[in-house]
Structures are given as structure tokens and as C-alpha cells.
């Protein structure tokens, strides 16, 4: 826990968060939690094939940012991107359907768990090459700046991405061109199976690099949805008003392994237990109750989320698999795959 208590940027709670927003933050976290658990159940039933990287435990980062973004802002995620895709408004049906390789999936089975994309919700793709999407997000931000649309791009990435060249190239370019982009590191303390501290020259893999690009050092508790929301709101407002990029390191923890194949036995039991006590969803529920929110409002959110999930699961199971011909479409903008006449 010492990392969470590490010197953080001052909490930005100067602007009050409305009750409606707080209920929204809770709803998003609950929906993500339920849907990710269901994704895991569907693996066990062999209805989700391939691999998948769950964001159980990291819901507050997705909820906090999504609630602070405008509808036409851009999200760029990693292969661990279910939570951000759901938070921006993609339906559980379209996400679970994609994981199951069904026709109802976001990309009709052509992308899979690691590449969730929903342009209509501003989710401009999930990228499975570590760090690759940071320059892409910078490019989208440049486009927004060029077109004068006031849109902001947000790139989410793990702690492991901070040691790859694309992270540094993107931050430098974004700073030099003063781009409206927010880089959000979800530091869950492990790059795949290895503690990030064992392979990184600085304590805070993202924030301690900020100074190299003339950016403020920001480390926050990524399990506190209010703090994530208010920090994101400020960084996004800065980007939108021409103030340039921000880099925010959110300390969090994944409750499951790196991927489906990983039981995460490399993590000390005490550490896991400590972090489970700081589960963002249960913490937030308690906070709302303490703040006087009626429990009925919360149980209503929970039961509605569960009902949506059950309907989505059944519909996804009932959805046909894609027509085999679709494997040959959409290589090119004309919809086809022809490389010769």
C-alpha cells in the first residue's frame, strides 16, 4: 500500500462532483465489474476463445475518465480495454458478442477481445502492441487541433508501456506540438508477470518521466473514482483549451492475472489481500452511502446492470457466428481484398 500513500499530486476536489455524476460513476463501475466477471465465466464455458485481459479492479480509472469526457472525444486503449470500451457507451452485448466471435460483436468477430473498437462511441481502437497507440492518440489530437474541433484524445496504457520507445516519442511530440491529448497510465504494478519496479529505473514509471517532457508529475489513487474523475476533468479541460498534454499515473491493481492464461501466482498473497480491501467498486459504494445516497438508488443500479448483463449474455449466445465470407472483406476501403486484377 505504500505506493498508494506515496506523495501524490494534490487531490483536485475543489470543484464539487454532482450526485448525478457520482451515481453515473458508480453505475459505470458496476457495469464493468459485472461484464468482466461474466467474460471470465464465459471463458470457463469455452464460449470465449483465444485470450482476454480483464480489467477487474481497474474500473475506477475507466469510469472516472469516461465521465469526464465529451461524447466526441477519442479513447485509445490497450488490449486490456474492455472497461474503457464499456465506459464510453458500447453495449455489453456488443462487447461480449465480440469476445465470443459472434455476428453481434462490435467488429463481428474480426478483431476480438484485444482490439475492441467502437467509433460511434469515440473508441478509436484497442491496440495489442504495447505502446503503439500513444503516437496514434497524439495524431488524433493533432487532427482535432488542426480541424479546430476542441476534441481531446485520451490514451490509456499500462505501466509496462512506459519502457517502450513509442511512449517517449509520443510524449515528446505531444509536448512539442502542444496537442490536446491526455496520457493515462494504469499502473497495476506488474508488466505482465514481472513487477514493474524490477525493470524500471524510477519508482513511478510514468510520472517520474513527466519532467523529461516538461509535464507536471501526477500520481493519483486510481481506485478512487472521484479523484480520477476530477483529475481527468482538469487535464481534459486544459487540453481542450489549448494548454497541451498531460500525463497522469493512476495507481491500481488487477484482481486477476495478466491474461486468461495467468493465475498470477507471482504476487504475494498479502499484497493481493490488501488491494482487494481497496476494491474500487465496494469502496465507492460505501462512500456514496456515507454521503447520504439512498441504498435503494444503488441497488437499483446494481439490479439494472445485472438485468442488462443477463439479456446481453443470452442475446450473445443466441447470435449467429459471422458468415465465413466476412473473413475476406474490408481489407480495403472498397470493402474487398483484391490485390490484383
Partner 1 sequence: MAQLSYRDAVAAGIAQEMRRDERVVLFGEDTAAAGGVFKTTVGLFEEFGPRRVKDTPISELAILGAAMGAAMTGLRPIAEIMFSDFLACCWDYVANEIAKTRYMSDGQITLPLVIRTANGAGSRFGAQHSQSVENWAMAIPGIKVVAPSTPADAKGLLAAAIRDPDPVLFFEHKSLLGNKGEVPEGEHVEPLGKASVLRTGGDATIIALAAMVPRALQAAEALAKEHGISATVIDVRSLVPLDARTLLEHSARTGRVFTVEENPRLCGWGAEIASVIQEEVFSSLKGPVIRITTPHVPLPASDQLEDAVLPTVARIVNEIKRALGSRRAA
Stretch that binds partner 1, among 111-119, 230-238, 246-254, 263-271 (CB under 8 A): 111-119
Stretch that binds partner 1, among 101-109, 204-212, 239-247, 299-307 (CB under 8 A): 101-109
The Cα–Cα gap between 66 and 223 comes to 15
As measured in angstroms, the least distance from the Cβ of 185 to partner 1 is 17
CB of 106 to partner 1, least distance (A): 8
Q: Answer yes or no whether residue 173 interacts with partner 1 by CB under 8 A.
A: yes
Helix 19-44, helix 295-318: angle, nearest 10: 40
Q: Which of 3, 172, 308, 315 binds partner 1 (CB under 8 A)?
A: 172
3-state class (DSSP) for residue 190: strand
Rounded Cα–Cα distance for residues 224 and 64 (Å): 8
State the minimum distance, in angstroms, from the CB of residue 108 to partner 1: 5
Residue 139 makes contact with partner 1 by CB under 8 A? yes
Q: b or e along 311-334 (b: 16 or more beta carbons within 10 Å of the residue's beta carbon)?
A: ebbebbeebeebeeeeeeeeeeee
* Phi/psi at 92 (5° precision): -60, -35
| Minimum gap (Å) between residue 74 Cβ and partner 1 | 7
Q: Which stretch binds partner 1 (CB under 8 A): 58-66, 88-96, 309-317, 326-334?
A: 326-334
User: Smallest distance from the beta carbon of 246 to partner 1, in angstroms?
Assistant: 17
Sign of the alpha-carbon dihedral angle for 280, 285, 286, 288: positive
CA distance 203 to 206: 9
In the sheet where 219-221 sits, what is the strand order? 123-127, 74-78, 153-158, 181-187, 246-251, 219-221
Nearer to partner 1, 134 or 250 (CB): 134
The C-alpha torsion from 174 through 175 and 176 to 181, rounded to 10°, is 30
Minimum distance from residue 315 beta carbon to partner 1 (Å) = 18
Residues contacting residue 324 through CB under 8 Å, at least 6 positions apart? none
46 near partner 1, rule: CB under 8 A: no
Q: Which single residue is written with the C-alpha cell 465521465?
A: 67
Q: Does 339 engage in binding with partner 1 (CB under 8 A)? A: yes
Min separation Cβ 97 and partner 1, Å: 12
Report yes or no: 218 and 248 within 8 Å, Cβ to Cβ. yes
**Residue number, 39 or 138, with CB nearest to partner 1:** 138
338 binds partner 1 (CB under 8 A): yes
Kindly state whether residue 117 participates in binding partner 1, applying the rule CB under 8 A.
yes
Q: For 152, phi and psi rounded to 5 degrees?
A: -125, 140
Nearest in space to 65 (alpha carbons), one of 193, 166, 156:
156
Say whether residue 104 binds partner 1 (CB under 8 A).
no
Tell me the three cell numbers of residue 29. Answer: 463501475
132 binds partner 1 (CB under 8 A): yes
Q: How many residues bind partner 1 (CB under 8 A)?
A: 53
Residues contacting residue 235 through CB under 8 Å, at least 6 positions apart: 182, 218, 246, 248
- Is there binding between residue 69 and partner 1 (CB under 8 A)? no
Shortest Cβ 314–partner 1 spacing (Å):
23
> Which H or E run contains 274?
helix 269-277
Establish if 166 lies at the interface with partner 1 (CB under 8 A): yes
316 binds partner 1 (CB under 8 A): no
How near is the Cβ of 180 to partner 1 at its closest, in Å?
12
Give residues in contact with partner 1 (CB under 8 A).
Answer: 74, 76, 106-108, 110-111, 115, 117-119, 124-125, 127, 129, 132-144, 146-147, 151, 153, 165-166, 169-170, 172-173, 176-177, 326, 329-335, 337-341
Amino acid at each position: 500500500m505504500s505506493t498508494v500513500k506515496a506523495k501524490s499530486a494534490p487531490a483536485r476536489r475543489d470543484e464539487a462532483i454532482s450526485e448525478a455524476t457520482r451515481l453515473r460513476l458508480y453505475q459505470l463501475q458496476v457495469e464493468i465489474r459485472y461484464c468482466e466477471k461474466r467474460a471470465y465465466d464465459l471463458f470457463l464455458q469455452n464460449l470465449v476463445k483465444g485470450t482476454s485481459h480483464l480489467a477487474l479492479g481497474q474500473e475506477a480509472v475507466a469510469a472516472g475518465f469516461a465521465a469526464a469526457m465529451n461524447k466526441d472525444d477519442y479513447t485509445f486503449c490497450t488490449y486490456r480495454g474492455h472497461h474503457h470500451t464499456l465506459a464510453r457507451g458500447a453495449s455489453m452485448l456488443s462487447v461480449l458478442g465480440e469476445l465470443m466471435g459472434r455476428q453481434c460483436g462490435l467488429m463481428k468477430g474480426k478483431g476480438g477481445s484485444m482490439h475492441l473498437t467502437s467509433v460511434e462511441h469515440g473508441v478509436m481502437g484497442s491496440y495489442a502492441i504495447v505502446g503503439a497507440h500513444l503516437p496514434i492518440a497524439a495524431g488524433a489530437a493533432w487532427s482535432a487541433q488542426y480541424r479546430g474541433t476542441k476534441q481531446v484524445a485520451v490514451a490509456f496504457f499500462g505501466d509496462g508501456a512506459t519502457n517502450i520507445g513509442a511512449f517517449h516519442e509520443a510524449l515528446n511530440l505531444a509536448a512539442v506540438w502542444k496537442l490536446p491529448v491526455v496520457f493515462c497510465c494504469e499502473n497495476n504494478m506488474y508488466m505482465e508477470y514481472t513487477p514493474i519496479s524490477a525493470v524500471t529505473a524510477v519508482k513511478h514509471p510514468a510520472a517520474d518521466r513527466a519532467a523529461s517532457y516538461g509535464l507536471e508529475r501526477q500520481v493519483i489513487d486510481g481506485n478512487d473514482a472521484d479523484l480520477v474523475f476530477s483529475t481527468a476533468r482538469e487535464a481534459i479541460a486544459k487540453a481542450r483549451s489549448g494548454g497541451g498534454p498531460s500525463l497522469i499515473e493512476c495507481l491500481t491493481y488487477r484482481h486477476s492475472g495478466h491474461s486468461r492464461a495467468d493465475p498470477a501466482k507471482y504476487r504475494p498473497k498479502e499484497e493481493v489481500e490488501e488491494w482487494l480491501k481497496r476494491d474500487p467498486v465496494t469502496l465507492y459504494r460505501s462512500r456514496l452511502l456515507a454521503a447520504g445516497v439512498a441504498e435503494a438508488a444503488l441497488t437499483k443500479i446494481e439490479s439494472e446492470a445485472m438485468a442488462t448483463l443477463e439479456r446481453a449474455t443470452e442475446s450473445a449466445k443466441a447470435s449467429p457466428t459471422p458468415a465465413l465470407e466476412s473473413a475476406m472483406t474490408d481489407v480495403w476501403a472498397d470493402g474487398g481484398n483484391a490485390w490484383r486484377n
